[in-house]
Amino acid sequence: MKLGMSYFGNRYKDCAKRHFRHMKEIGVSYIVFTFSENDLAFYEHTMHELFSLAHSMGMEVWADPWGMGGVFGGEAFSAALLASPDDWQVRSDGKSVPHACLNSRRFRNFVKLWIDSVVAGGTDYIFWDEPHWYIPGWDASAAKRLGMKAEDMDIKGLWACRCNNCQNLFFQRYGHPMPKEMTEEVSEFRQASAYDFLREMTEYGKVKGIKNAICFLPLDNKQIGIPDADSIASLDSVDVIGSDPYWYIFNRSVDDFVKPVTQRFIELGRKYSKEVHMWFQGYKVPAGRELEMEEAVKKIHELGVRNAAVWAYNGASHMSYLRSDDPEKVNRILEDIFKKFSKK
pLDDT tens, residue by residue, 202-223 = 999 999 999 999 999 998 766 6
Determine the structural domain holding residue 301 and report its residue range. Answer: 2-84+102-134+209-341
Question: 153 in a domain, yes or no?
Answer: no
Question: 161 in a domain, yes or no?
Answer: no
Question: 124 in a domain, yes or no?
Answer: yes
pLDDT at 154 over 90: no
For the stretch 164-173, pLDDT in tens is 999 999 999 9
For the stretch 93-147, pLDDT in tens is 999 999 999 999 999 999 999 999 999 999 999 999 999 999 877 776 666 777 7
pLDDT at 82 over 70: yes
pLDDT value at position 151?
58
The DSSP code for 254 is: I
Question: 76 in a domain, yes or no?
Answer: yes
Question: 180 in a domain, yes or no?
Answer: no
Backbone angles phi, psi at 24, to 5 degrees: -60, -40
> In percent, how much of the chain has pLDDT > 90?
90
Question: 19 in a domain, yes or no?
Answer: yes
Residue 89 near residue 134, CB atoms below 8 Å: yes
Mean pLDDT for 49-60 is 98
Helix, strand, coil % over all residues of the chain, rounded to 5: 45, 15, 40
Question: 313 in a domain, yes or no?
Answer: yes
The DSSP code for 297 is: H
Q: How many folded domains does the chain comprise?
A: 1
Alpha-carbon span 303 to 85, nearest angstrom = 45
Question: 170 in a domain, yes or no?
Answer: no
**Cβ neighbours for 83, distance < 8 A, ≥ 6 positions apart:** none
CATH number at residue 312: 3.20.20.150
Instruction: Say if residue 143 is preceded by a cis peptide, omega within 30 of 0.
Output: no
